[in-house]
Amino acid sequence: MRDFSGDHGWLSINTATVRKSSGVELPLPQIIEACARRGIRAISPWRDQVASAGLATVSKLVRDHGLALSGYCRGGMFPAIDQAGRQAARDDNRRAVDEARELGAACLVLVVGGLPGALAGRAAHKDIALSRSQVTDGIAELLEYSRSARMPLAIEPLHPMYAADRACINTLEQALDLCEQLDPLSTGADAGADGTTQPAALGVAVDVYHVWWDPKLQSQIERAGRARQMALHVCDWLTPTVDLLNDRGMMGDGVIDIARIRGWMEDNGFAGFSEVEIFSSANWWQREHGEVLDTCIARHRSAV
Amino acid sequence: MRDFSGDHGWLSINTATVRKSSGVELPLPQIIEACARRGIRAISPWRDQVASAGLATVSKLVRDHGLALSGYCRGGMFPAIDQAGRQAARDDNRRAVDEARELGAACLVLVVGGLPGALAGRAAHKDIALSRSQVTDGIAELLEYSRSARMPLAIEPLHPMYAADRACINTLEQALDLCEQLDPLSTGADAGADGTTQPAALGVAVDVYHVWWDPKLQSQIERAGRARQMALHVCDWLTPTVDLLNDRGMMGDGVIDIARIRGWMEDNGFAGFSEVEIFSSANWWQREHGEVLDTCIARHRSAV
């Protein structure tokens, strides 16, 4: 297992973590500058932040600073109530692949969606099996496109408390079942003709917040292996948690044994960045972003 | 599948549902009277409510009204930081078995506990595997006692969002793995010498709120079969859910396809009560309990 205690070479900042500074929206270019100043080598930006700053601007900034993108957030949201909705999701997801490609992201993270309308409090139906079937179809279709663009897709299983409104893929086992169904040979995972290893076309993003509770976590990480493990997202689970979405904790402030999970992943071939993704409306988003980034660096060394 | 639309013969009221009436604590004897007046045939009381009213008083009331107990809430909370804590849990769980026996409950529901101290916001450690091991040991020990008292134990897998502070058994699969480990022969589940069927010594309580999201729910219900299915708890998952503990919805107000889950259970031999268990600090606990019970009756007929 890699030793993170001496530096933050493997730290990535998911830009949602500093979406706000002292409660005020922080533009992506400023986030990038602040990361670069601290020697942070990687980020994972959100599409809305990229859109606000302009794709070309962000792309140039990323390249000028030599930043890696541990991922791009996000594609997905496949289920819809009609063909028009599914077509809109298909088009939007293809644009997300193109943007991820332009930015040089390691993968496009997929938050697959739940019951159509549930996010707005008006679920169109209660048939989660139907949503899951639409997710399968949606990823299958997107996979053809992303393969040709050489952009790996990382399915992110979300915590079951988001099953209704955000993602009906809720365990690593379920995500891997889907990977095996749609990409049984882990296409691209074999060594290339030049001896280099290509990432698989389809894999998973492991966010400790979503999966830490799972009694099958270790065995499913073993099953995922090197080819399917595309991203590691870290934060912490607070007790009590007072908001289902925006009360994530800083690594070390909660109950997740993050190092143990990272150890399992590395034992099975993961060697990428540890990406900090914290949504925290009452705490971290109220602090100055420099303090938040410095804390991420410190906790990356002590608690990840 | 049984038709519930014509009456409420299979309705049970978990007494937490009317723990408060118009925001004020409602004593258990009044809850029992209110249920009996409405022809409700079963309840499932909480230990603290029974203790407040007195076990003998409650026992007499239950018998006088001819009420069944679909369960007794609750035993469990096995993990502790030291031997003294585990001994205290052991003693308390034996008392819970005795009380359940005195009240004629169908089963003692087990909420198994999580990380010691987490419920108070101060987890003593982050080793959920250790807690799970202590749960296994605790149930194994309690099972010897409960068997001699002929009181079935129903492990209730809790939603993963409670893994830290309330229960580290979080899926039906995990609960059934434990049942098979500790009671491989479903002791007591075979037909008795007189041809009657005895309940198993160890099984599960299926609360739709906790398990509705699980992609393996149907297959695990099939695995549970008649012997292990000891209770069905119903309420609904609201979108949005604004509180992790006390924002459960009335059946029909959320996204859970309750009838489908009940159908799976009945296809696999379940024939017991449908127990309404709603924790709702901002809505149902603020209403007059008669209105709440009448709504439970109506929704039992239309949405369960």
The angle subtended at Cα A50 by Cα A48 and Cα A55, nearest 5°, is 135
Per-residue model confidence as pLDDT tens digits over B194-225: 555 677 999 999 999 999 999 999 999 999 99
Residue bearing tokens 């897998």: B157
Q: How far is A56 from chain B (nearest CA, A)?
A: 36
* Residue in A123, A213, A237 nearest the CB of B239: A123
Q: Is ipTM > 0.90 here?
A: yes
The mean of the pLDDT values for chain A is 96
Q: How far apart are CA A175 and CA B170, in angstroms?
A: 18
Residues of B in contact with A174 (CB under 8 A): 215
Q: How far apart are CA A18 and CA A12, in angstroms?
A: 12
Mention every residue, 6+ apart, whose C-beta is less than 8 A from residue B119. A239, B165, B166
Calculated CA dihedral for residues B40, B44, B49, B54, nearest 10 degrees: 80
CB contact under 8 A, A160 and B213: yes
* Residue in B160, B240, B256 nearest the CB of A213: B160
User: A185-194, A221-230, B110-119: which range is least confident on average?
Assistant: A185-194
CB contact under 8 A, B213 and A164: yes
**Which two tokens mark B69?**
């107990």
Packing angle of the helix pair A55-64, A28-37 (nearest 10 deg): 0
Return the pLDDT at B189: 62
Confidence of residue B55 (pLDDT cuts 50, 70, 90): very high
CB B71 within 8 A of CB B154: yes
CB contacts < 8 A, A to B, total 85
Q: How far is A98 from chain B (nearest CA, A)?
A: 32
**Which two tokens mark A209?**
């917040």
* Residue in B115, B168, B237 nearest the CB of A164: B237
CB contact under 8 A, A118 and B255: yes
SS (H, E, C) B27-52: CHHHHHHHHHHCCCCEEECEHHHHHH
Return the pLDDT at B121: 96
Encode burial over B99-126: b for 16+ CB neighbours within 10 A, e otherwise: bbeebebbbbbbbbbbbbbbbeeebeeb
Return the pLDDT at B188: 75
**Which two tokens mark B47?**
């230990």
Helix (H, G, I), strand (E, B) or coil at B25: strand
pTM reported for the whole predicted model: 0.97
Residue of A nearest to B163 (CA): A213
- Alpha-carbon distance values, B104 to A91, B45, B55, B92, B139 (Å): 60, 12, 12, 18, 21
Confidence of residue A16 (pLDDT cuts 50, 70, 90): very high
Q: How far is B213 from chain A (nearest CA, A)?
A: 6
Q: How far is A157 from chain B (nearest CA, A)?
A: 12
Eight-class DSSP state of B17: G
Helix (H, G, I), strand (E, B) or coil at B75: strand
On the question of pLDDT at A164 being above 60, the answer is yes
Return the pLDDT at A180: 97
Mention every residue, 6+ apart, whose C-beta is less than 8 A from residue A269. A225, A226, A227, A229
Residue A11 gets the label, from left (phi > 0), alpha (psi -120 to 50) or beta, of beta
Q: Which domains does chain B have, with CATH numbers?
A: 11-303 (3.20.20.150)
CB contact under 8 A, B214 and A160: yes
User: What percent of chain B is predicted at pLDDT more than 90?
Assistant: 95
Query: Per-residue pLDDT averaged across B74-96, rounded?
Result: 97
Per-residue model confidence as pLDDT tens digits over A77-128: 999 999 999 999 999 999 999 999 999 999 999 999 999 999 999 999 999 9
Return the pLDDT at A227: 94
Confidence of residue A189 (pLDDT cuts 50, 70, 90): low
Eight-class DSSP state of A294: H
Residues of A in contact with B213 (CB under 8 A): 128, 160, 163-164, 168, 170
Per-residue model confidence as pLDDT tens digits over B137-191: 999 999 999 999 999 999 999 999 999 999 999 999 999 999 999 999 988 765 5
On the question of pLDDT at A196 being above 80, the answer is no
* Residue in B212, B244, B256 nearest the CB of A244: B244
On the question of pLDDT at A179 being above 70, the answer is yes
**Which two tokens mark B44?**
């499932």
On the question of pLDDT at A190 being above 70, the answer is no
Residues of B in contact with A160 (CB under 8 A): 159-161, 213-214
What are the backbone dihedrals phi and psi of residue B75, each rounded to the nearest 5 degrees, phi first?
-100, -175
On the question of pLDDT at A199 being above 90, the answer is no
Q: Which residues of A touch B (CB under 8 A)?
A: 115, 118-119, 121, 123, 126-128, 132, 159-161, 163-165, 168, 170-171, 174, 212-215, 237, 239-242, 244, 255-257
**Which two tokens mark B297?**
């009756």
Q: Would you call A3 exposed, middle or buried from its count of C-beta atoms within 10 A (0-12, 13-18, 19+)?
A: exposed
Return the pLDDT at B199: 78
